[in-house]
């Protein structure tokens, strides 16, 4: 019954190494069947070149219990679950340690929107999420990571559908989207924007973020009710 979802989650995970976003097994993608409340995710530590659809693990969104699969789910599963529980627009989550986005995470700095490439994908700066306290790490590191991401979006009054990514301070990026492959695309876009931002600041340390009217133009021509980019969906 989850064959299509498993196939898409498998494909998204297999694309991670080819996309240049992951080294070794430093990344995972999940997908959600929201109607049935089931998440499909990569098993923990299995090399991408050995991954098959039947290896994927199915977890219950409400309880987090394993419904299908004999392998242990990704160690980041609880983070994915908290993102899905809080962000209704998300039905795919991607987590990588891609170098440029991780550099911003490690520096503890949000990623400014310096240009229209960034604005095409994200409606403004990518927020930085606080580090966890010692108590939170002990209480349930991965779940608390997810709750801290959700807290960041509430605190900043951000729409997770318009800014589908976050940088975890000292850790790495998480992105999401309406399905697994879109979450992966957002990770690819985030990494490119992070790399270009590093180059921008190297060339001009005083570079200013993109003005609001250009951010609005570029984001809204691709997203939202009046979008006119592309061929439309007939």
Instruction: Return the active site residues.
Output: 120, 229
143 in the Ramachandran plot: left (φ > 0), alpha (ψ -120 to 50) or beta? alpha
CA dihedral sign of residues 224, 229, 233, 234:
positive
Asked if 129 and 203 count as a contact pair (C-beta separation under 8 A), the reply is: no
Angle between helices 3-18 and 180-203 (to 10 degrees): 20
Confirm if 90 and 177 have CB atoms less than 8 A apart.
yes
**Contact predicate 61/39, CB 8 Å:** yes
Phi and psi at 88, nearest 5°, equal -60, -25
**Residue 26 CB-density burial (10 A; 0-12 exposed, 13-18 middle, 19+ buried):** middle
């Amino acid at each position: 019954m989850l064959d299509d979802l498993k196939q898409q989650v498998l494909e998204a995970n297999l694309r991670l190494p080819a996309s240049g976003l992951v080294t070794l097994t430093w990344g995972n993608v999940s997908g959600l069947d929201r109607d049935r409340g089931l998440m499909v995710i990569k098993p923990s530590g299995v090399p991408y070149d050995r991954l098959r659809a039947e290896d994927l693990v199915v977890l219950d969104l409400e309880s987090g219990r394993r419904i299908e699969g004999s392998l242990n789910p990704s160690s980041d599963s609880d983070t994915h679950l908290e993102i899905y529980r809080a962000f209704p627009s998300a039905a795919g989550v991607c987590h990588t340690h891609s170098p440029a986005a991780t550099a911003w995470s490690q520096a503890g700095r949000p990623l400014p929107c310096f240009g229209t490439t960034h604005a095409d994908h994200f409606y403004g700066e990518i927020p930085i999420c606080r580090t966890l306290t010692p108590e939170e790490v002990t209480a349930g590191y991965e779940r608390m990571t997810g709750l801290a991401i959700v807290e960041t979006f509430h605190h900043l009054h951000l729409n997770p559908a318009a800014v589908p990514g976050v940088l975890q301070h000292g850790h790495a990026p998480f992105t999401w989207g309406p399905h697994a492959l879109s979450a992966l695309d957002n990770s690819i876009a985030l990494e490119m924007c992070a790399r270009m931002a590093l180059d921008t600041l190297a060339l001009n340390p005083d570079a200013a973020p993109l003005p609001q009217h250009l951010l609005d133009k570029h984001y809204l021509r691709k997203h939202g009710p009046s979008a006119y980019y592309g061929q439309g969906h007939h």
